Structure 1
Amino acid sequence: MRLPDDQSLTREGMPATGHGRVLLLACGALAREVLALVRLNGWDHLDLQCLPAILHNHPERITPAVEDAVARHRAEYDRIVVLYADCGTGGLLAQACARLGVEILAGPHCYSFFDGNAAFAERDEVTSFYLTDFLTRQFDAFVWRPLGLDRHPDLAAMYFGNYEALVYLAQTEDPALTEKAREAADRLGLRFERRYTGYGDLAAALEAIPAA
């Protein structure tokens, strides 16, 4: 299946990819990384469906969307794994997954499991604003326009005044993306830091899902 473009993943998500026995129900922001791991490792037992990535701008909508997707697909699969962390739901998503009998990734958000949950917690970077590869590509759609900075760029100082750095957690070695992330830091008036993470704990989580 051809991967949708970033704009489609942001607004619409992606339907299930195949005929495996385990459904990975993920955020659209993870589509490229999950499919890369599935293809690299030949994990044919894993199907991927993505919900719209823009749900992250409205975390109160994530839990109902996951519940609806699980209800629609439960009968088709032996197992469903939710590839979200808490993602701003205040524990509600984990509670829903427990009630539904489906698994969920550990960690507060994707920045943490890309960086590695243990390492992320140890750093305790409360004054850092994070971007991943996907969020760097979709910076305008997720940050700049929703905050009205396209119309009032001077508001950046108000929104980001308590931050000190923009940390780009890079899943790939891409100089063009690094430059785009650096430009985002400049636009927000933040110090720039790039940290190569690869797929972090996401790779280990998928590897732990058995074929049978």
Structure 2
Amino acid sequence: MDDATLVATGLPPSGEGQILLLACGALAREIIAIKQANNLTHLDLQCLPAIFHNHPERIVPALRTEVQKYRGKYDAIFVVYADCGTGGLLETACAELGVKMLEGPHCYSFFEGNDVFAARDEMTAFYLTDFLVRQFDAFVWEPLGLGRHPELRDMYFGNYDRLVYQAQTDDTALTAKARDCADRLGLSFERRFTGYGDLQTALTAL
């Protein structure tokens, strides 16, 4: 199943006790894997476009619309976003709407574990997840104009010293692609196997 199919996956309400996950499309593959591995049949999934990863200003308005759309059709709604660059606006909106959300500043933090990530205090690392390795050209290379203007690399990445690939899965092909991403950005490479981190903990606790 490709990422486009996963992002489009939205399961209809299926009865009492159901919880709707309103999630970032970049997390669709991971959420489906967690659901299947833990038999979480009471969790339904609806994703917002993954490209909101690059446009955090679109997250809160879109989520407000979706919460209003599905309110009353589920026993609860859980927002599978961290702050994700909204500057606290997402947390405020969730409180106003009466829905819970995932803890943490962003996906890099909750995949590694929020406490572990905070303790690292890494300011010179550029992070990629499984999704961002797969979608590197669409979400990093082309939006930053590096294909057309490679001279911009130093402007964007001159203060980074390494690319950290946070691997959710053991996939040799993805690891090779992540290493290539580091080479293209002129950064040293580090791979950390995180699994699903606090994402899995939060979903299995619902």
TM-score > 0.5, shorter chain as reference: yes
Match of 1:54 among 45, 51, 55: 51
Match of 2:126 among 104, 107, 129: 129
Unaligned runs of 5+ in 1: none
Output one character per residue of 1:92-122: Cα deviation in whole Å (capped at 9) or x when no partner: 0000000000001000000000000000000
Question: SS of the residue aligned with 1:68?
Answer: helix
The correspondence of residues 103-122 of structure 1 with structure 2, limited to 5 A, is 103-122=100-119
The aligned residue for residue 95 of structure 1 is 92
Deviation at 1:15, TM superposition (A): 4.5
Asked if residue 155 in structure 1 is aligned to residue 152 in structure 2, the reply is: yes
Asked if residue 164 in structure 1 is aligned to residue 158 in structure 2, the reply is: no
Match of 2:30 among 12, 33, 42: 33
Output one character per residue of 1:174-199: Cα deviation in whole Å (capped at 9) or x when no partner: 01000100000111111110000000
The aligned residue for residue 14 of structure 1 is 8
Deviation at 1:14, TM superposition (A): 2.3
Alpha-carbon separation, structure 2, partners of 1:19 and 1:163: 45
Asked if residue 191 in structure 1 is aligned to residue 185 in structure 2, the reply is: no
Match of 2:67 among 65, 70, 74: 70
Unaligned runs of 5+ in 2: none
Deviation at 1:91, TM superposition (A): 0.2
Alpha-carbon separation, structure 1, partners of 2:158 and 2:71: 45
List 4+ stretches of structure 1 deviating above 4 A: none
Alpha-carbon separation, structure 1, partners of 2:103 and 2:37: 23
Alpha-carbon separation, structure 2, partners of 1:185 and 1:64: 34
Q: Letter of the 2:51 partner, please give it.
A: I
CA RMSD of aligned residues (A): 1.2
Q: Normalising by structure 2, report the TM-score.
A: 0.95
Q: Normalising by structure 1, report the TM-score.
A: 0.93
Q: How many residues align?
A: 203
Deviation at 1:153, TM superposition (A): 1.6
